[in-house]
């Protein structure tokens, strides 16, 4: 089953280049780089540091290819579009930026090389456009676990899911919806992590 996809236009977040298609032909494609637009909600600052692992993901998601689900349970890809980085690395970059933009944490960064108090492990379970009877929507779903490095124990866990309606099924129309969904889930994750980490730290949870 094929899905008619038109080539995305020149956007602020994409660069035109070329690639080898699945059939071996060379065709132009657009590179999409979602940007955050919202900082985390205002709240008290914390005096601890957080290390963020690159999210785990299955092979269908751990790629620069952008997934689309034209019918439930069937994943295809947009043939003329790519993410700037593989989806897990793209998401981690946005999450780190979300924490930095919040201005509420002492330090945040990659798991390696940071003497952190807490760690955030993530599993990216969905990053795709879904086409249904009510139209197209961008869906992001992830599982988050907060680890206390002093005890090496998971002290909190939560599943996040958000969806944003798209203007159409092609990637040009779906991209703003992807940005909205990613923006929303990053804000939710930042607020949850800071609240849970501070609560556990104040309670002396090990």
What phi-psi label fits residue 103: left (phi over 0), alpha (psi between -120 and 50 degrees) or beta?
left
Q: Nearest CA to 29 among 171, 189, 199, 195?
A: 171
Within-domain flag for 115: yes
Q: Supply 175's token pair.
A: 């991209």
Q: Give average pLDDT by consecutive 10-residue segment, the chain, 206 residues.
A: 35 36 62 88 89 95 97 94 98 96 92 85 98 97 96 96 98 98 96 95 72
C-alpha pair distances (Å), 54 with each of 2, 7, 102, 191, 206: 32, 30, 20, 19, 24
Within-domain flag for 9: no
Within-domain flag for 177: yes
Containing structural domain, residue 87:
46-203
Within-domain flag for 122: yes
CATH of the domain at 70: 3.40.50.10610
Within-domain flag for 29: no
Within-domain flag for 32: no
* DSSP labels, 71-127: ETTEEEEEEEEEESS-HHHHHHHHHHHHHHHHT-EEEEEESTT---SEEEEEEEEEE
What is the pLDDT, as a whole number, of residue 14? 37
The domain tally of the chain equals 1
- The residue written with tokens 């998971």 in the block is 154
Q: What is the pTM of this model?
A: 0.85
Fill in the DSSP letter of residue 56: B
């Amino acid at each position: 089953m094929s899905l008619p996809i038109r080539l995305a236009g020149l956007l602020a977040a994409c660069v035109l280049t070329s690639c080898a298609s699945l059939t071996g032909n060379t065709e132009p494609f657009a590179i999409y780089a979602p940007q955050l637009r919202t900082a985390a909600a205002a709240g008290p600052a914390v005096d601890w540091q957080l290390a963020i692992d690159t999210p785990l993901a299955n092979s269908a998601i751990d790629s620069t290819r952008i997934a689309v689900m034209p019918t439930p349970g069937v994943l295809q890809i947009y043939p003329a579009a790519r993410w700037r980085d593989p989806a897990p690395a793209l998401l981690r970059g946005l999450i780190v930026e979300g924490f930095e933009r919040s201005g509420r944490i002492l330090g945040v960064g990659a798991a390696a090389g940071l003497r952190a108090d807490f760690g955030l492990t993530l599993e990216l379970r969905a990053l795709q456009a879904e086409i249904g009877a009510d139209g197209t929507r961008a869906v992001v779903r992830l599982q988050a676990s907060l680890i206390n490095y002093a005890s090496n124990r998971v002290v909190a866990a939560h599943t996040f899911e958000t969806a944003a309606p798209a203007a159409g099924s092609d990637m040009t129309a779906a991209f703003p919806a992807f940005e909205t969904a990613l923006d929303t889930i990053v804000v939710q994750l930042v607020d949850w992590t800071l609240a849970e980490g501070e609560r556990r730290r104040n309670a002396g949870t090990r």
